[in-house]
Structure 1
Amino acid sequence: MKREFLKESGAYLQGAAMAAVSKPSITGFTRLETQPTTVSLKLGLQAPLADPLWMLARQWQFNEFQGEDAGTPLSVRFEVSGLPVSRLRAGAEKDRQPWQALAPGQAPIETRVEAEAVWRTHPRLRGEAGLQLLRRVDAGARPVLCSAYPLALPAPTDGAADMAGLLWSGVLPGRTLDAQALAADLTPLRGADGLLTGLPAALAALPATVQAALDPWLAWLDGVVFEGNEADEAAAGNPAWQRERFEYAFALGTGPAAPGVGAVALDVPEYTDGHVDWDEFRARPLADNGGNGGDAAPARRFSVAQRHPTPVRYPGMPADRYWEFEDGNVNFAGAEAGATDLLRLSVTEFALTFGNDWFMLPVRLPAGGLYRVTRFEVVDSFGIVSTAGPISAVTTSPWRMFEVNAAPALKDLLAHTVFIPDSLDGVMESEPLEQTLFVRDEMANLAWAIEKKVQGVSGEALDRDLEAKGLAFQQQVKFAATDPQLVYRLATPVPANWTPLLPVRRNGLQLADPLDIQLERAGMKRFYPAPAVLGADDPAFSDFLDGLDAQPNFISPLPIPEDANVRAYVFYPRGHLLRQNPNRPMPEAERLWLEEEEVPRIGATLKRKFQYARSADGRSWLWVGRSKTAGRGEASSQLRFDVAVKASTLR
Structure 2
Amino acid sequence: MSEKLITANLASTIATRALPGITQWNRLEGRPRTENFERALRAEIRDPLWLLSRQWQMGEFRGDDAGSPIFARTRIETTRLTGYRAAHGSAEAFDTSLPLEARVEPLPLALSLGDHDIALDIRLMLGRYWLKLIKALPQAARGQYIAAYPIHAPDPNDASDAPTLAHAEAWAQFAAVAGRAMDGARLYAYLKADPAHRASDGIAALAGSEAQADAQGVRFLAWFEKLLHQPAEGSAFVPERLEYQFSCSTPAAAGTDKVYVADQYFQGHLDWYNFDSDPTQTTLGEATAEGEITEAVEPEVTTLTTLPAQATFNGMPNTRWWAFEDGRTNFGDIKPDTTDLAKLLLIEFGLVYANDWFVVPFVVPAGAIATIKGMAVTNVFGERIWIEAAGRGADDDWQRWALFLTSVKGQGHQAADLSLMIPPTAQKTLEAAPLEEVIFVRDEMANMVWGLEKTVPLPSGMPKPGAAAARETRLFFEKDVERRLGAPPQPPPAASGAKIRYKVMSTVPENWIPMIPVHVPGDNREVQLQRASMPRIIEGDPSPPASVRPRTSLLRHGLDQAPPQPYFLHEEEVSRAGVRVTKSFQRTRWRDGRVWLWLGLRKQTGRGAGSSGLAFDRIVDL
- TM-score, length-normalised on structure 1? 0.72
Q: Structure 2 CA distance, aligned partners of 1:444 and 1:119?
A: 32
Residue 283 of structure 2 corresponds to which residue in structure 1? Answer: 289
The alpha-carbon distance between structure 1 residues 357 and 483, as it changes in their structure 2 partners (threshold 3 A), is same
Residue 80 of structure 2 corresponds to which residue in structure 1? Answer: 84
> Alpha-carbon deviation of 1:436?
1.0
Question: Structure 2 counterpart of 1:132, which letter?
Answer: Y
Match for 1:226 among 221, 226, 229?
Answer: 229
SS of match in other structure, 1:326: coil
- Residue by residue, what CA displacement relative to the aligned partner does 1:104-153 show, whole Å, maximum 9, x if unpaired? 31x32222222122274534213212212323424824324333433446
Residue 149 of structure 1 corresponds to which residue in structure 2? Answer: 149
Q: Is there any run of 5+ residues in structure 2 with no aligned partner, and where?
A: 1-48, 113-118, 156-160, 288-292, 479-487
> Alpha-carbon deviation of 1:283?
1.0
- Equivalent positions of 1:226-305 (< 5 A) are 226-229=229-232, 239-256=235-252, 258-259=253-254, 262-285=256-279, 287=281, 289-293=283-287, 294-303=293-302
Q: Structure 2 CA distance, aligned partners of 1:163 and 1:347?
A: 56
- Residue by residue, what CA displacement relative to the aligned partner does 1:605-650 show, whole Å, maximum 9, x if unpaired? 1111111112233221111111111112111111111222232xxx
Match for 2:125 among 123, 128, 134?
Answer: 128
Residue 580 of structure 2 corresponds to which residue in structure 1? Answer: 605
- Residue by residue, what CA displacement relative to the aligned partner does 1:326-372 show, whole Å, maximum 9, x if unpaired? 22333323334688765443222211121122233433332122211
Q: Kindly indicate whether the alpha-carbon contact (under 8 Å) linking 1:79 and 1:301 is maintained by their aligned counterparts in 2.
A: no
Q: Would you say 1:428 and 2:430 are equivalent positions?
A: yes
Residue 549 of structure 2 corresponds to which residue in structure 1? Answer: 572
- Equivalent positions of 1:104-183 (< 5 A) are 104-105=96-97, 107-118=98-109, 120-121=111-112, 122-136=119-133, 137-138=135-136, 140=139, 141-152=141-152, 154=154, 157=162, 162=167, 165-183=170-188
Q: Kindly indicate whether the alpha-carbon contact (under 8 Å) linking 1:116 and 1:228 is maintained by their aligned counterparts in 2.
A: yes
- Equivalent positions of 1:381-400 (< 5 A) are 388-391=387-390, 397-400=399-402
Question: Structure 2 counterpart of 1:268, which letter?
Answer: A
Q: Kindly indicate whether the alpha-carbon contact (under 8 Å) linking 1:263 and 1:286 is maintained by their aligned counterparts in 2.
A: no
Match for 2:529 among 503, 519, 522?
Answer: 519
Q: Would you say 1:325 and 2:324 are equivalent positions?
A: yes
SS of match in other structure, 2:600: strand
Question: Structure 2 counterpart of 1:416, which letter?
Answer: L
The alpha-carbon distance between structure 1 residues 200 and 419, as it changes in their structure 2 partners (threshold 3 A), is same
Q: Kindly indicate whether the alpha-carbon contact (under 8 Å) linking 1:318 and 1:351 is maintained by their aligned counterparts in 2.
A: yes
Residue 471 of structure 2 corresponds to which residue in structure 1? Answer: 469
Q: Kindly indicate whether the alpha-carbon contact (under 8 Å) linking 2:559 and 2:565 is maintained by their aligned counterparts in 1.
A: no
Q: Kindly indicate whether the alpha-carbon contact (under 8 Å) linking 2:584 and 2:601 is maintained by their aligned counterparts in 1.
A: yes
The alpha-carbon distance between structure 1 residues 396 and 581, as it changes in their structure 2 partners (threshold 3 A), is closer
- Residue by residue, what CA displacement relative to the aligned partner does 1:586-615 show, whole Å, maximum 9, x if unpaired? x5x522222222122211111111111122
Q: Structure 1 CA distance, aligned partners of 2:544 and 2:66?
A: 92
Question: Structure 2 counterpart of 1:202, which letter?
Answer: I
Q: Structure 2 CA distance, aligned partners of 1:90 and 1:351?
A: 42
- Equivalent positions of 1:92-107 (< 5 A) are 97-105=89-97, 107=98
Q: Structure 1 CA distance, aligned partners of 2:450 and 2:199?
A: 54
The alpha-carbon distance between structure 1 residues 480 and 116, as it changes in their structure 2 partners (threshold 3 A), is closer
Q: Kindly indicate whether the alpha-carbon contact (under 8 Å) linking 2:492 and 2:540 is maintained by their aligned counterparts in 1.
A: no
Q: Structure 2 CA distance, aligned partners of 1:627 and 1:306?
A: 44
Percent of aligned pairs with the same residue? 29
Match for 2:521 among 483, 507, 512?
Answer: 507
Q: Kindly indicate whether the alpha-carbon contact (under 8 Å) linking 1:109 and 1:423 is maintained by their aligned counterparts in 2.
A: yes
- RMSD of the alignment, in Å? 3.9
Question: Structure 2 counterpart of 1:321, which letter?
Answer: R
Q: Structure 1 CA distance, aligned partners of 2:195 and 2:505?
A: 60
Q: Would you say 1:497 and 2:507 are equivalent positions?
A: no
The alpha-carbon distance between structure 1 residues 519 and 177, as it changes in their structure 2 partners (threshold 3 A), is same
> Alpha-carbon deviation of 1:442?
1.3
SS of match in other structure, 2:603: strand
Q: Kindly indicate whether the alpha-carbon contact (under 8 Å) linking 1:499 and 1:573 is maintained by their aligned counterparts in 2.
A: yes
Q: Structure 2 CA distance, aligned partners of 1:209 and 1:603?
A: 55
Question: Structure 2 counterpart of 1:442, which letter?
Answer: E
The alpha-carbon distance between structure 1 residues 354 and 621, as it changes in their structure 2 partners (threshold 3 A), is same
Q: Structure 2 CA distance, aligned partners of 1:643 and 1:523?
A: 21
Q: Structure 1 CA distance, aligned partners of 2:407 and 2:82?
A: 19
**Count of aligned positions:** 538
Question: Structure 2 counterpart of 1:613, which letter?
Answer: T
The alpha-carbon distance between structure 1 residues 323 and 62, as it changes in their structure 2 partners (threshold 3 A), is farther
Q: Structure 2 CA distance, aligned partners of 1:324 and 1:71?
A: 21
Question: Structure 1 counterpart of 2:175, which letter?
Answer: G
Question: Structure 2 counterpart of 1:220, which letter?
Answer: W
Match for 1:458 among 460, 463, 469?
Answer: 460
Structure 1 stretch 371-380 or stretch 447-456: which is displaced more? 371-380
> Alpha-carbon deviation of 1:209?
6.4
> Alpha-carbon deviation of 1:445?
1.8
Q: Structure 1 CA distance, aligned partners of 2:377 and 2:249?
A: 34
Q: Kindly indicate whether the alpha-carbon contact (under 8 Å) linking 1:113 and 1:250 is maintained by their aligned counterparts in 2.
A: yes
Structure 1 stretch 278-287 or stretch 204-213: which is displaced more? 204-213
Q: Structure 2 CA distance, aligned partners of 1:433 and 1:343?
A: 36
Q: Is there any run of 5+ residues in structure 1 with no aligned partner, and where?
A: 1-51, 231-237, 532-564
Residue 14 of structure 2 corresponds to which residue in structure 1? Answer: none
Structure 1 stretch 317-326 or stretch 199-208: which is displaced more? 199-208
> Alpha-carbon deviation of 1:451?
1.2
The alpha-carbon distance between structure 1 residues 151 and 424, as it changes in their structure 2 partners (threshold 3 A), is same
Q: Structure 1 CA distance, aligned partners of 2:62 and 2:282?
A: 61
Match for 1:592 among 567, 577, 588?
Answer: 567
Q: Kindly indicate whether the alpha-carbon contact (under 8 Å) linking 2:270 and 2:425 is maintained by their aligned counterparts in 1.
A: yes
SS of match in other structure, 2:62: coil
- Equivalent positions of 1:32-43 (< 5 A) are none
Q: Structure 1 CA distance, aligned partners of 2:277 and 2:338?
A: 38
SS of match in other structure, 2:82: strand
Q: Structure 1 CA distance, aligned partners of 2:259 and 2:331?
A: 44
Structure 1 stretch 489-498 or stretch 285-294: which is displaced more? 285-294
The alpha-carbon distance between structure 1 residues 337 and 490, as it changes in their structure 2 partners (threshold 3 A), is closer
Residue 30 of structure 2 corresponds to which residue in structure 1? Answer: none
> Alpha-carbon deviation of 1:264?
1.6
Q: Structure 2 CA distance, aligned partners of 1:439 and 1:602?
A: 7
SS of match in other structure, 1:468: helix
